[in-house]
Amino acid sequence: MRRLVAWNLMTLDGYFEGKTLWALDFHETVWGDELHDFSLEQGREAGTLLFGRRTYEGMADYWTKATGDIADMMNSIDKAVATRTLDEATWNNTRLLKGDAVEAVRALKAEDRKDIFVFGSANLLDSLLTAGLVDEYRICLAPVVLGGGNPLFKPRESELRMRLESTRPLKTGGVVLTYRMNG
């Protein structure tokens, strides 16, 4: 069983995007050489990138037009998108996971490859966290307070307890926190 690692940037008040879709200006406060290298390292750790449909559409649009080492990694790597509505995925090397996302991700985890990484995809991650399918959560906390927007973590039945694995402050003022999920 391979691991599933979630990676996201979040503000100090818990938002991963602003009030509109892809309002990600706050990323600029923490982006730099360190996160660039970190992204490439994660690309090397990853066997498959997994997305929810909305994140998939934005990522596909962005990375197919981008160039550079991160774009090369994003465009070439094995990808999967969990969706009820899409009928085809045109981004290179992308599979559709139709039907029940939790069951599809269980099957994806059983494949004999390197780890699964999920970027963005807050709604999908909410289901996966509830189903206990997330093994590790890496979060870069940006020194930003948005005051409103799209929360990374959704209201839930009970609190989610984790184990702090490491902390890494960045020169830009971001802090990368790594948590292991219990259970």
Partner 1 sequence: MAKLVFAMNLSLDGYIDHEHFAPGPQLFRHWIDYERSIAGSVYGRRMYEIMSYWDEERPEWTADEREFAEAWRRQPKWVASRTLQSVGPNATLIGEDVEAAIRDLKDRHSGEIAIAGARLAGSLANLGLIDEYRLYFHPVVLGEGQPFFDGVRPKLRLEASDLIGEGIVRLTYVPA
**Binding interface with partner 1 (CB under 8 A):** 10, 12-14, 129, 139, 141, 143-147, 151-156, 159-164, 167, 169, 173-175, 177, 179
Rounded to a whole number of angstroms, the minimum distance from the CB of residue 149 to partner 1 is: 11
For residue 171, the surrounding DSSP H or E stretch is none
Shortest reach from residue 162's CB to partner 1, in Å: 4
Rounded Cα distance between 160 and 130, Å, is 9
At residue 134, what are phi and psi to the nearest 5 degrees? -95, 125
**Least distance from C-beta 3 to partner 1, angstroms?**
18
Burial (CB count within 10 angstroms: exposed 0-12, middle 13-18, buried 19+), residue 174: buried
Which CB, 59 or 124, lies closer to partner 1? 124
Residue 181: CB atoms within 10 Å: 18
Nearer to partner 1, 60 or 141 (CB): 141
131 vs 145 by CB, closer to partner 1:
145
Distance of CA 24 to the CA centre of its chain: 14
Residue nearer to partner 1 on the CB measure, 1 or 155 = 155
CB 146 within 8 A of CB 10: no
Q: What's the min distance (Å) between Cβ of 157 and partner 1?
A: 9
